[in-house]
Amino acid sequence: MKFCKEQLLIYAVTDRAWTGRMTLFEQVEAALKGGATMVQLREKGLGERDFDGFLEEARRMHALTARYGVPLIIDDNIEIALQSGAEGVHVGQNDMDAGEARRLLGPERILGVAAKTVEQARRAQDAGADYLGSGAVFGTSTKADAIPMSMEQLREICASVQIPVVAIGGICLENIGRLAGSGVAGAAIVSGIFGAEDIEGTTRRLAEVMRGNLGEGVAGI
């Protein structure tokens, strides 16, 4: 599946903290029905504790996302991505060197890299990243150590690189409109999707607002 920036529009990032009434797979399918354009399977530490279980989960998740023609990205585990057939990997600044990640992934798979500064953004681009994840734009409960990023910082990062940037961190229906004019190509969303009472409907509305943002210059168009 060839990467394009439109796949970043509504980037659903999983978090088991929000499962309960629905399974993780049911949640992801609801998001896909609502128009999620990319899915990241985030299972921090599971690969170390239960590699086979993580691999089986990733294969099942990939079969699901493939039915909707949506790329599956694995958070910080290249081996799981390669063995499951997932379209790519997302790595943080403290996970793996982006250049090494690109070497291991090869040229065809998608590589996303977290970038909180212009320097990190340019370095990731030079190392072969396809897109950047930048935030936390509105703070977040998902990562306790995440430092909020100003809109000015986000705009500077977007303007400093040629590859697309996806905003992340505390994004929900109430604030996604504030991304207009920032330069991002999309929004990576955790609780704003998976913590919603109506995941499908919320995702659909998030996509509508984000497309409206694009018309106001979010991605420079």
Out of 90-94, 110-114, 119-123, pick the least confident.
Answer: 90-94
Q: What is the pLDDT of residues 76-109, one digit of tens each?
A: 999 999 999 999 999 998 888 999 999 999 999 9
Mean of the pLDDT values across residues 138-164? 84
Q: If you count DSSP H runs as helices and E runs as strands, how many of each does the chain have, helices first?
A: 9, 8
Q: Give residue 183's pLDDT.
A: 95
Range of the domain at 117: 5-215
Q: Please tell me which residue, 100 or 48, carries the higher pLDDT value.
A: 100
| Domain-embedded: residue 221 | no
CATH number of the domain where residue 76 is located: 3.20.20.70
Mean of the pLDDT values across residues 71-76? 97
Distance of CA 102 to the CA centre of its chain: 17
Q: What is the pLDDT of residues 164-210, one digit of tens each?
A: 999 999 999 999 999 999 999 999 999 999 999 999 999 999 999 99
Q: Give residue 216's pLDDT.
A: 61
Residue 130: name the closest of 100, 162, 158, 160 by CA. 162
pLDDT band at 144 (very low <50, low <70, confident <90, very high): low
| Domain-embedded: residue 85 | yes
pLDDT band at 6 (very low <50, low <70, confident <90, very high): very high
| Domain-embedded: residue 62 | yes
| Domain-embedded: residue 123 | yes
State the total domains in the chain. 1
Please give the Cα distance from 87 to 20 (Å, whole number).
28
| Domain-embedded: residue 220 | no
Q: Give residue 20's pLDDT.
A: 86
- What pTM was estimated for this model as a whole? 0.93
Please give the Cα distance from 81 to 32 (Å, whole number).
20
